[in-house]
Amino acid sequence: MIPVLGITTCNQFDVFCKLVDSINHPVKVLSVLVNSSLNYFDQIREYLYSHPNHNIDKVDLAFCEQNMGCSSSWNFHIKNYPDAEYWVLCSGDVILGENDLKQINEKTRLHDGCFADKDMEFVLFALNRSMIKKVGLFDENIHPAGYEDDDYRKRMALGDADIDWFDIGAYHTSAGTIKSMPSDNQQTILHTISPLNHQYYCRKWGTYKPICTGTAKERI
């Protein structure tokens, strides 16, 4: 059984419903963080309680009207359940494949972390307690999104984390939170916030080298 499956959603209600329906492996706690309006929170709450999934023992629903951002949202699920053996984190624009959660459950017991292949590592992945001790949580200075995955790859390599990949069967809608935002918000993120995150990353590590394949030590 998966201890905690954390999903953060800001919009795309239809995709979220399909994601929850696609959970096909026993989950002790489904942790859902709604980074959006109260109206969207009500939609999510109504769906979760009117369409129970028999694979889920408990649903934990949280609300933040002001978007926490990617790093803080991932950390939220981990901090809320600090005693969990491991945490599975899934983007809100994914529909799970038949064996995704089963593979994660098996591999995360043998490795510090487990990531989806096909350059989709941080779309669906899991971190266990050993990973958090070696690498820590996501850097919340990177906000709201962009470079948090690169930063974590770098830290995993430097921390000599033992990671593995699984053959993802999930369908990534690629809708993405940003693509569902108003045009003005998208432009602000792309042309103002993203460059600031890039600058922060370079100040922290000295350079930026985007690598999305290979072993953890090759991701420096």
Tell me the pLDDT tens digit for each residue of 158-206: 999 999 999 988 888 765 555 555 566 655 565 577 888 999 999 999 8
Give the residue-averaged pLDDT of 82-88.
97
Residues 6+ apart with CB under 8 A from 10: 34, 35, 36, 40, 67, 92, 177, 180
CA distances from 174 to 12, 123, 179, 198, 211 (A): 11, 10, 9, 22, 20
Pick from 10, 5, 3: nearest CA to 180: 10
Q: CA 97 to CA 128: how far, in whole Å?
A: 22
Pick from 94, 42, 74: nearest CA to 144: 74
Q: How confident is the model at residue 218 (pLDDT cuts 50, 70, 90)?
A: very low
pLDDT on residue 178: 56
* Cα 8 → chain centroid: 7
Q: pTM, whole model, 2 decimals? A: 0.88
pLDDT on residue 172: 83
Give the residue-averaged pLDDT of 7-13.
93
Query: Could you tell me if 34 and 92 are in contact, meaning their C-beta atoms sit under 8 angstroms apart?
Result: no
Query: Cis link prior to 195 (omega < 30° from 0)?
Result: no
- Give the pLDDT confidence of 44-70 residue by residue, as tens digits: 999 999 999 999 999 999 999 888 999
Residues in the chain: 220
* pLDDT top residue among 216 and 204: 204
Q: Could you tell me what percent of the chain has a pLDDT over 90?
A: 73
SS3 109: coil
